[in-house]
Structure 1
Amino acid sequence: MSLTTEQQILIEQRLQNEKKSTGVAYLIWFFLGGLGGHRFYLGRTSSGVVMLVLWLVGVATAIIAVGFFLLIPLGIWVVVDAFLIPGMIERVNAEKRKFLKLELAGDLAISQASA
């Protein structure tokens, strides 16, 4: 089904209101990167939980030097994520656009069926 120009504009306007921000993602990454905050913001909950657990266990066991073996890879992961954030945001926003199109198509089908 092809969308009209008005429907495409409506989708883009909703996307502008609901899309994830690169600036916000980088601010969260800067302040809460080791805790996986930026991954929670971008909807990657499972990897955010892994980062949070690595940080908690790493800090708790740093006294006996075991924690450093967890904190060093975590630090590398956080630095690598700085380069991955733009791609993650593009994917999240593309998925949101696809969802909005499907939602609009579903609403149209319901309104046509009831007419």
Structure 2
Amino acid sequence: MGESTESINELTTSELLLVSSDVSNYKKSATAAWIIWLVLGLLGGHRYYFNQKKSATVMALITILSAGMGVIITLPWMLYDASQINKWLRLDIKEIENKSIDKILRNRKKIVKKALLDNSNKETINDTNEKPAPVSKKLSDSIVSLDNNEDCSYVNKWHIFF
């Protein structure tokens, strides 16, 4: 529990909002849990709802194979589960929070690693390019102007046609 408190403190506000949205989207409904307990409790339906499949299967087999006489066993078990449903709901929320926080922190570490790799690649590129790149001539140096005293007879030939 202490570990999740430390990791919650590392999250930004937007990441905390993502965690709370994951909890609200994926948590089990208390109303559904209690209705399932009431209607399908003898068959272990509420345990299936909380992914406790082994004990739910045992509960269903006791009820079905004993032709209802297993109520002597499953009814006290069902009443015990009634005291546990709220605990299971809280554990479900904690589990979703922890998974969401772990996912966010893993993604953050991937992003940091990628940024570090990108920076190290740039540094090695800069180290290997110690020679300055050749400077091309300026555009103005390559333009021939009519003011130059160079041979510009070709300009006069075109002047005749126009």
**How would you bin the TM-score normalised by the shorter chain?**
0.7 to 0.9
- State the 1:49 CA deviation: 1.3
1:84-106 Cα offsets, whole Å, 9 max, x none, are 11011111111111111111111
Residue 113 of structure 2: aligned partner: 113
Scaled by the length of structure 1, the TM-score of the pair is 0.85
**Structure 2 residues not aligned, in runs of 5+:** 1-6, 116-162
Task: Verify: 1:23 aligned to 2:31, yes or no.
Answer: yes
Residue 3 of structure 2: aligned partner: none
Off by >6 Å, runs of 4+ in structure 1: none
Residue 45 of structure 1: aligned partner: 53
Equivalent pairs, count: 107
> Secondary structure in 1 aligned to 2:66?
helix
Task: Verify: 1:102 aligned to 2:110, yes or no.
Answer: no
Structure of greater Rg: 2
Query: Comparing both chains, which one has the higher relative contact order based on Cα–Cα distances under 8 Å and sequence gaps of 6 or more?
Result: 1
Aligned mates of 2:76, 2:89 — CA distance in 1: 20
Matches within 5 A, 1:30-109: 30-59=38-67, 68=69, 70-109=70-109
> Secondary structure in 2 aligned to 1:48?
helix
- State the 1:79 CA deviation: 1.6
